[in-house]
Amino acid sequence: MRKTSWLILLFVAIWLNACGSGDSNNTNEQQQRLFEWDHSSDFVLFQVDVIDENLPEPIIANTIPLCTIYGDGRLVFTNPTADNEIEVLESRLNDADIRSFIEQVIGRGFYSWEDDVFNNSDLNRIESISLNLYAQPRTVERYGDWPNNSFEILLEDCRNLSPQRALVIPFNGGWLRAYPLESYDRTGEYLEWPRRIPFTLEEVANSGSPQWVSDPTIAAYLWNIILTQRPIPIVIRDQAFLITFQVPGISRTSPPPPTDLTNALPTLAPLPTEEDEDN
């Protein structure tokens, strides 16, 4: 049944292309009727992603999908920087631009593509393209070799759907996990846990569950660590940890934000003022 629906959508795209030479107003009305989706803010309408299954779980949890369009028109995508780190940007799209892009995705053959992954493979880097129309999600996964180089083309087009974009900074908080390490390379790259932060990674690790960070300064600090895309040990009292920090609506598998902040981690104490120091 679902395969039949996908084929119908494919025929719809072909029909739209055939109608392109007709009245533009009629074509726009047809698009609005044909491409419908959930407009909620957490609904993933379209996504281009890549996962290296050979990476440790904390690193996979920290990676951000390459480009995602949410139901409410929010566009979130990553941009590699010159030093092999990433920046995460977001923008807003209107329904007309989204429908035009969906038409492009389907027109490239999305509903005719097949998975190209198999068990017992030495390959670990899996690329995927997902589209969710009419509550019928479909994801195609391949090791590469996409028809007509569609993975790279759609990724580039997705990232450039809007000329206006802003850096994502998690001022509203995120979920923190900590994983203790048996050892770490003291001659290699690591970070010292800032003493001013009013909780320890040991406390977070011992909780056994993600802990909500509501303090915007701490959240921004943790966010910058994971954007390095490297497993950097964080050391406190000679004990090293790896962390995951996931932001709702941005990170791949983040839980939603808590409805009650009673159990959120402590926030930073205000810095003393000159008047405080005089007293």
Q: How confident is the model at residue 194 (pLDDT cuts 50, 70, 90)?
A: very high
pLDDT over 90 at 179, yes or no? yes
Q: How confident is the model at residue 43 (pLDDT cuts 50, 70, 90)?
A: very high
| pLDDT tens figures, 231-267 | 899 999 889 999 999 999 999 889 999 999 999 999 9
What is the per-residue pLDDT for 21?
45
With the C-alpha atoms ordered 275, 219, 213, 193, is the resulting torsion angle positive or negative?
negative
Give the DSSP letter string of 99-146. Answer: HHHHHHHHHTTGGG---B--TT-S--EEEEEEEEETTEEEEEEESS--
Q: How confident is the model at residue 35 (pLDDT cuts 50, 70, 90)?
A: confident
| pLDDT tens figures, 151-171 | 999 999 999 999 999 999 999
Q: 25-29, 39-43, 74-78: which has the minimum mean pLDDT?
A: 25-29
Q: 120-134, 212-226, 252-266: which has the minimum mean pLDDT?
A: 120-134
Q: What are the structural domain ranges in the chain?
A: 2-167, 174-266
Mean local confidence (pLDDT), 90-109: 97
The total of other beta-carbon atoms located within 10 Å of residue 185's CB is 9
What is the per-residue pLDDT for 166?
96
Tokens (6 digits) for 255: 């839980």
The total of other beta-carbon atoms located within 10 Å of residue 133's CB is 22
What's the pTM? Answer: 0.84
Mean local confidence (pLDDT), 95-108: 97
Mean local confidence (pLDDT), 42-58: 90
CA-to-CA distance for 76 and 70, rounded, in angstroms? Answer: 8
Mean local confidence (pLDDT), 1-12: 49
pLDDT over 90 at 118, yes or no? no
What is the per-residue pLDDT for 140?
97
Are the C-beta atoms of residues 257 and 172 closer than 8 Å to each other? Answer: yes
Give the DSSP letter string of the chain. Answer: -HHHHHHHHHHHHHHHHHGGGS-HHHHHHHHHHH------TT-EEEEEEEEETTS-HHHHHH---SEEEETTSEEEEEEE-TTS-EEEEEEE--HHHHHHHHHHHHHTTGGG---B--TT-S--EEEEEEEEETTEEEEEEESS--GGGHHHHHHHHHHTS-S--EE---TT-EEEEEEE-S---TTS--EEPPTTSSS-HHHHHHH-S-EEE--HHHHHHHHHHHTT-S---EEETTEEEEEEEE-TTTSTTPPPPPS--TTSPPPPPPPPPHHHHH-
21 φ, ψ to 5°?
A: -85, -5
CA-to-CA distance for 112 and 126, rounded, in angstroms? Answer: 19
Q: How confident is the model at residue 124 (pLDDT cuts 50, 70, 90)?
A: confident
User: Measured in Å, how far apart are the chain's first and last C-alpha atoms?
Assistant: 75
CA-to-CA distance for 171 and 214, rounded, in angstroms? Answer: 8
Mean local confidence (pLDDT), 218-226: 95
Mean local confidence (pLDDT), 13-21: 48
**Architecture field, domain 2-167:** 2-Layer Sandwich (3.30)
What is the per-residue pLDDT for 273?
53
Give the percent of the chain with pLDDT over 90.
66
Q: How confident is the model at residue 150 (pLDDT cuts 50, 70, 90)?
A: very high
